[in-house]
Amino acid sequence: MRKKARFPGIYLGIILALMYVPILLVIIYSFNESRISSVWSGFSLRWYRDLFRDKDMLEALINSLVLATVSSLSAAVIGTLAAVGMPRVKLRGKSVVEYISTLPIMIPEIILGMVFLVYFSLIRLPFGMITLTVAHTSFCIPYIYMLVKARLVGIDKSYAEAAKDLGANEWNVFWDITLPLILPAIASGVLLSFAMSLDDVVISVFVTGVNTNTLPIRIYTQLKTGVTPKINALSTLMFAATLLIIMLSTWFGRKTTLSVKRRNT
Amino acid sequence: MKPEALAKTGEPRPGEPTSREEGARKPTKRRDAMVLSVLPLYVFTFLFVIGPLVYMLVLSFLRRAEVWGVTLEFTFENYANILKPVYLKTFLESLKLACLTTLLVALFGYPFGYFMARQNAAWKRRIMVLLMIPFWTSSLVRLYGWIIIFRANGVLDGLLMALNITNAPLKVLYTYAAVVVGMVYALVPFMIFAVYSSAEKLDWQLVEAARDLGATPFQAFWTVSFKLTLPGLLSGIVLTFIPSMGLFFIADILGGNKVVLVGNLIQEQLMKARNWPFAAALSVVLLTLTSIMIALYRKISGVKDLEGLV
């Protein structure tokens, strides 16, 4: 038997460690007393205190949470209904529409942001939470659709047939049989969409209104202009939220569903 | 069977047997209800995906108005503009950076995905979770981490000077190198997932067989494993290359104003210069490049979906 090589394990370890370095630094410095982040002057929670007193930041946080909730839930309704209905309708060009509906996660984000900006001003949709919601819903739908579709493939058709033989109509079958079976897929899809919406910078920068800020937009402007350690504190909290969402999502669905993510980074 | 025709007549038409019509009515009704379930997706797709994309295409052929907005005048001007040396240079720079990024991502990501697939199930699961956490962490948070590392007298400078490797701050932030590191860091997980998903399916007995038949480890890798994981590598390349053309905020934050990508150009034309038709033309070109890449990938690999994407 050939000797088991040590190198792969070491390589995996080094790369993984490198991935955590930037994140750990942000977390460590969020507890730093000093304003200048390159100097460590002692443990302190002052930046967290400052953060919770920052009204603009809190408003941006609320906006982000509302936006993520509304977009992921609307996408859940649209995506789930379509994933269930698509295989059963006979419409011409069905597969084309299906393909086009997944375009928002296939094309570069910057293009999506750009087309939304010009289109929303063409149809005179007021820029702000409305445009943000439409844009975010557009890239949340494909995730839910794909996850539910994948789950539906794995469901035994005989359940639905048995129910129909016993006199259930299409609606009963959906509500009592299909829905409970696909619920884990919907739940993990909603969590993914929620995280995606919460993290989106590129599209949001384009479609937001003058006075509407989301958390990523605020952070983006701060990173560009000048950072205060408050951002460290905020980032640490966002990291904690990410961990929570991952844990929930893993709990709801198969682990593999997590590997579905937009190309945005 | 037209539902409205049925509704209008109400009673059986002459010459048509009632029983057949009764039989046909039920599935039609059910199908109508089913159409309702896909209706939201159709409406949304037409209104907010097809609409915007078509408008982008139309807009790219319109002339910019003197002061504000566009005039309804057909022109190729915007596309001709792209060929101006300034803009062409940006396109080429972007392509260059995208190629460099993709190459580095493949170099770091391919072995990772490959080695990961060779671990036992428990370790695979652990590594997957460890990968997911940074992957799902907000991109801005991670970018901020790199700012802390790269800025003058930051962590990197401190480390290098403490180890006596350099004696003055390197000031890596706002350089090309910083942008490349940021891009590679952001995109490497996509390569890892793509390679991993195809290496996972690999039948390792084939590699064993090659070794037993006298192949050196490298020969076995090159003739068996590499060939069979090629679809994963290719989809990783597509998944890295496409976004690396447009990730303008990484270039913005880590590169200052020094690195201008197509993405930055589009953003600038939209938000600052307010030349929407030109921004639209740039997007059409970028989108075409993207589609060509995906089509090529499909043709070469014969795989319909991007591996690792779903």
Provide mean pLDDT across the span A195-201.
88
Is residue B87 scored above 50 in pLDDT? yes
Q: Using an 8 Å CB-CB cutoff, list chain B residues near A85.
A: 34-38
| A140 inside 8 A of chain B by CB | no
Q: Using an 8 Å CB-CB cutoff, list chain A residues near B155.
A: 25, 38
Q: What's the pLDDT at A217?
A: 92
Joined together, the tokens standing for residue A263 give 């190309």
Portion of chain A with pLDDT greater than 70, in percent: 92
Long-range CB contact pairs, A215-218, < 8 A, 24+: A215/A57, A215/A60, A215/A61, A215/A63, A215/A64, A216/A64, A216/B138, A216/B140, A217/A60, A218/A56, A218/A57, A218/A60
Q: What's the pLDDT at B31?
A: 59
CA-atom Rg of chain A in angstroms = 22
Portion of chain B with pLDDT greater than 70, in percent: 85
Among the partner residues B134, B197, B245, nearest to A23 by beta-carbon distance: B134
| Interface predicted TM-score (ipTM) | 0.84
| A168 inside 8 A of chain B by CB | no
Domain boundaries, chain A: 54-259
| Yes or no, beta carbons of A231 and B144 under 8 Å apart | yes
Q: What's the pLDDT at A79?
A: 96
Interface test with A, best of B144, B239, B242, B282 (most A CBs within 10 A): B144
Taking one residue from A and the other from B, the number of pairs with CB-CB distance under 8 angstroms is: 257
Provide mean pLDDT across the span A153-161.
82
Q: What count of Cα atoms within 13 Å lies in the side-chain half-sphere of residue B269?
A: 27
- Each residue's pLDDT tens digit, A219-244: 888 888 877 788 888 889 988 988 88
Q: What's the pLDDT at B29?
A: 57
- Name which residue leads in pLDDT, A246 or B30: A246
Residues 94-133 of A with CB under 8 A from B: 97, 100-101, 103-104, 106-111, 114-119, 122-123
Provide mean pLDDT across the span A49-65.
90
CA distance B127 to A92: 44
Among the partner residues B111, B135, B148, nearest to A261 by beta-carbon distance: B135
Q: What's the pLDDT at A244?
A: 87
| Yes or no, beta carbons of B263 and A119 under 8 Å apart | no
Is residue A68 scored above 90 in pLDDT? yes
Lowest average pLDDT, out of A181-190, B27-36, B109-118, B233-242, goes to B27-36
Q: How confident is the model at residue B17 (pLDDT cuts 50, 70, 90)?
A: very low
Among the partner residues B35, B151, B286, nearest to A89 by beta-carbon distance: B35
Question: Looking at CA atoms only, how far is residue A159 from chain B in angstroms?
Answer: 19
Q: How confident is the model at residue A254 (pLDDT cuts 50, 70, 90)?
A: low
Question: Looking at CA atoms only, how far is residue A121 from chain B in angstroms?
Answer: 10
Nearest residue in chain A measured CA to CA from B217:
A2
- Each residue's pLDDT tens digit, B286-302: 999 888 888 887 777 66
Long-range CB contact pairs, B147-152, < 8 A, 24+: B147/A223, B147/A227, B147/B173, B147/B253, B147/B254, B148/A22, B148/A25, B148/A26, B148/A29, B148/A37, B148/A38, B149/A21, B149/A22, B149/A25, B150/B178, B150/B181, B150/B254, B151/A38
Give CATH superfamily name and number for B77-301. MetI-like (1.10.3720.10)
- Name which residue leads in pLDDT, A33 or A117: A117
- Each residue's pLDDT tens digit, B156-177: 888 888 888 777 777 888 889 9
- Each residue's pLDDT tens digit, B172-194: 888 899 999 999 999 999 999 98
| Yes or no, beta carbons of A25 and B148 under 8 Å apart | yes
- Each residue's pLDDT tens digit, A109-129: 889 999 999 999 999 999 999
Domain boundaries, chain B: 3-59, 77-301
Q: Return the number of other C-beta atoms located less than 10 Å from residue A54's C-beta.
A: 15
Q: What's the pLDDT at B307?
A: 46
Question: Looking at CA atoms only, how far is residue B308 from chain A in angstroms?
Answer: 7
- Each residue's pLDDT tens digit, B240-288: 988 888 788 898 889 887 888 888 889 888 888 888 999 999 999 999 9
CA neighbor of B200 nearest in space, from B304, B124, B94: B124
Provide mean pLDDT across the span B93-97.
91
| Yes or no, beta carbons of B41 and A38 under 8 Å apart | no
Question: Looking at CA atoms only, how far is residue B15 from chain A in angstroms?
Answer: 28
Nearest residue in chain B measured CA to CA from A36:
B154
Is residue B6 scored above 50 in pLDDT? no
Q: Are B278 and B214 in contact (CB under 8 A)?
A: no
Diameter of chain B measured on Cα atoms:
100
| A265 inside 8 A of chain B by CB | yes
Q: What's the pLDDT at A66?
A: 96
Q: What does the DSSP assignment read for B236-258? A: HHHHHHHHHHH-HHHHHHHHTTS
Nearest residue in chain A measured CA to CA from B34:
A85
Provide mean pLDDT across the span B45-67.
90
> Could you confirm whether domain A54-259 is CATH 3.40.50.720?
no
Q: What's the pLDDT at B23?
A: 44
Residues 40-99 of A with CB under 8 A from B: 77-79, 81-82, 84-86, 88-91, 97
Query: Where do we find the tokens 């539902």?
Result: B3
Q: Which DSSP category does A83 fall into? A: H
Question: Looking at CA atoms only, how far is residue B185 from chain A in angstroms?
Answer: 7
| Yes or no, beta carbons of A138 and B49 under 8 Å apart | yes
- Name which residue leads in pLDDT, B17 or A46: A46
